[in-house]
Amino acid sequence: MRNILTTFFLFFFLYQTDAQVCLNPVTSNCADAIMGTSEFLMTTSGNVDFVFDDMRDFITGITHSGSTMLRLRIDEVVPNSCRWRLMMYIDNNSVLPANEWETLVNYGTSGQNPELDLIEVKIYNGCGTPLNSGVFQIFAGNTQYDLLEIIPMGPRIVPAPCDGSQVNGPGSYLTDYNEYSFTIDYRIKPGYILKPGAYQIKIHFCLVEV
Amino acid sequence: MKKCFLSFALVAMFSGLSFGQLIDEKNVTVTMDLQPVLQLHMTTPDQVDFVFDDIREYYSGIIKYAATILKVSSSVTWDLYAVGTSQAGTIWDQQMTYSGGGGANAISALPLSCLELHQYEANRYDANAAGGTATDYSGLFQDAQTAAPVVGQNSIFYSATPYTAPGVDQKYIQGHSGTVAGDDGAPGGSYLIASPGVGQDFTDYYFTIDYRIVPGLPAIFPFAGDNLGNAEDLETVNAAGAYANPGVYTMNVKYILLEDQ
């Protein structure tokens, strides 16, 4: 009996997703995406690698288009109450200073370490529902855990005519692909002032009901 | 006690499954590999020939204007230097001898410093230079007939170990020995997109190189010298009455682009 209870509690606490920025919601109006019927799916090509080994790349930058795709299916539990928020935030693995990429290795000595606002992201879907849809943006706060809202917290908007509204009600990519799927492009234009080396960051995508 | 645990477990289970909250997180790792890239584009003939077959050319020398054009692209702070070298090390390689080797005072060991360079534009990042006649090759070629030449002013830096960068008392085309920020190395950039600064005709990434050799008569190469002002003409190095052995000579000029050091 004790083993069963221990297993149960371990399972129960693992189930409580948590992160520095992706905070637990205070409502339970939507079905959850882990054990419930909602879905939060991501397809990506593993690491998004930017390799700058030619001057043309340094000048023009490198863009990885459609590297990440998010697909949502949101079911509601409490009728007419479910709404959600989708955001992304940047993580440098807590290295200091908090505004720089994590350095894996340096190839030289001259130049500056890259800062977090170097990477540009463009989020879009067929109906233009993301905030600043289709525009390259940076993490302007330039610090660890800086946020970019994709679907910000706001009044409940159910799937609408495809008009760019920030839809945040129940729905599914299966029946409404252009409002419940999101494509993310990444771009880096390093210029000439950075120190040669290999660097890394992590970008988190957080879906949470509000 | 068991009932108490069981009750708690059931409550927890129902709260977790029936009233689950929508929250989930995914993540992507982004890596960036910034490799140091230094690219030197050079437009030049395969061989720059100086043929002295007229007395006038011995006196006035031969100049090859803009025979070499250098274009730089670099992702890091950089230096650029020219170095003369040869198989013999610091003298020209004699490929052929005319007139049976000349007279008793004919010298075949011609100093590499008899080749003069003129660069356009000047070195703008040479603050740490010290002790030399010139920090670069931007000085105009001196009058070939001048009575008191400043020896070594435009003479090429030469070395038997050409990949060892010149010291603080030697000439660079851009940048200089040392790593004083903003002073001893040109910033990363490219001739492709850079614009000339105020008062500049070219950008920091584009140079034209003129070549000159003045044998003089007798052919002692009066302008040859090192960058410390020591004359290396044939009479000074050998003896009064020395002159160049007629023949065919070759040397190699290397242009080295490297990260600021």
pLDDT at B42: 95
The DSSP bridge pattern shows strands B78-85 and B252-259 to be: antiparallel
- How far, in Å, CA of A55 to CA of A49, rounded? 17
Q: Are B207 and B70 in contact (CB under 8 A)?
A: yes
Residue A91 forms beta bridges with which residues? A202
Helix (H, G, I), strand (E, B) or coil at A166: coil
Instruction: Give the ranges where chain A is alpha helix by DSSP (H).
Output: 2-15, 55-60, 177-180
Cβ atoms within 10 Å of A27's Cβ, excluding its own: 16
Per-residue pLDDT tens for B210-226?
A: 999 999 999 999 999 99
**Contact (CB<8Å) B31/A47:** yes
Nearest-Cα distance to chain B for A43, in Å, is 10
Cis preceding linkage at A97, omega within 30: yes
Compare A18 and A63 and report the one with higher pLDDT.
A63
Task: Give pTM, 2 decimals.
Answer: 0.79
Question: How large is the ipTM?
Answer: 0.85
Confidence label for B2 from pLDDT (cuts 50, 70 and 90): low
Calculate the CA B87 to chain-centre distance. Answer: 20
Helix (H, G, I), strand (E, B) or coil at A68: strand
Confidence label for B150 from pLDDT (cuts 50, 70 and 90): very high
Q: Are B34 and A199 in contact (CB under 8 A)?
A: yes
Chain B residues whose beta carbon lies within 8 Å of the beta carbon of residue A22: 23, 25
Best A11, A55, A100 residue to mutate vs chain B (most B CBs within 10 Å): A55
**Residue A145, amino acid:** Y
Confidence label for B180 from pLDDT (cuts 50, 70 and 90): confident
